[in-house]
Chains A and B, each alone.
Chain A
Amino acid sequence: AQTVTQSQPEMSVQEAETVTLSCTYDTSESDYYLFWYKQPPSRQMILVIRQEAYKQQNATENRFSVNFQKAAKSFSLKISDSQLGDAAMYFCAYRTLNNDMRFGAGTRLTVKP
């Protein structure tokens, strides 16, 4: 079974600084997708960034980037120039093309002004 592990229950960052959230996963598949979702207090799941496993290049979306290490099964999220609005729960997720999405336990990010 595929599992997703987020080892950091809570993280804190100073506004304008950079923070990295960790995620590892376990799978025997070669083709899959990895995601980072943000869940603010409204509880709406917001897609932050997506990585296709067959792509070697790390995905980037403005201030958000990932470090995808396929051999190590690691998928960390880097948030640069942190803003107060980045404060939320962040979930790492995995799925294959036709299967459901599986989530890690989440990391609560606090941004200090």
Chain B
Amino acid sequence: GAVVSQHPSWVICKSGTSVKIECRSLDFQATTMFWYRQFPKQSLMLMATSNEGSKATYEQGVEKDKFLINHASLTLSTLTVTSAHPEDSSFYICSARVSGGINEQYFGPGTRLTVT
């Protein structure tokens, strides 16, 4: 099956700094990528949907100026957490969708962000 990678797999940053998470579709082109956030023992909550070359669409309650999403190519989307605070500590999962057929959606392994 198709593979989605995320980098880094975990990151620790200091409060007030910014951190970038990369999501790549390794063997397919993804016109649409999704970013989810998962708190401990909770479900995945969709943060935003990004289409290649377009501005991301954010879910209600997600601060677009804090969580910057760039989908610059058909294989790469990035999520930048700006001015991170401890409450931003979470597990971030990206997902990439293949166009055609049933538009299968594949998930990355996730990135654990800890803000100290």
Q: Which residues of A line the B interface, CB within 8 A?
A: 33, 37, 42-45, 52, 91, 95, 97-98, 100-106
Please state if B107 and A44 are interface contacts (CB–CB under 8 Å).
Answer: yes
Please state if A97 and B102 are interface contacts (CB–CB under 8 Å).
Answer: yes
User: In the complex, what distance in Å separates the CA atom of A37 from the CA atom of B110?
Assistant: 15
Q: Mark B93-116, 1 if CB is under 8 A from A, else 0.
A: 101000000110101011010000
Please state if B46 and A43 are interface contacts (CB–CB under 8 Å).
Answer: no
Question: Looking at chain B's contact residues, is the secondary structure mostly helix, strand, loop, or mixed?
Answer: strand
How many residues of B sit at the interface, in one of the four size bands?
10 to 19
Q: Mark B22-49, 1 if CB is under 8 A from A, else 0.
A: 0000000000001000100011101001
Question: Looking at chain A's contact residues, is the secondary structure mostly helix, strand, loop, or mixed?
Answer: loop
User: In the complex, what distance in Å separates the CA atom of A10 from the CA atom of B45?
Assistant: 20
- Which residues of A are found within 8 Å of B110, using beta-carbon distances? 43-44
User: In the complex, what distance in Å separates the CA atom of A42 from the CA atom of B46?
Assistant: 20
CB distance from B97 to the nearest CB of A (A): 9
- Given A45, A97, A98, which contacts B93 in the complex, CB threshold below 8 Å? A45
Please state if A52 and B102 are interface contacts (CB–CB under 8 Å).
Answer: yes
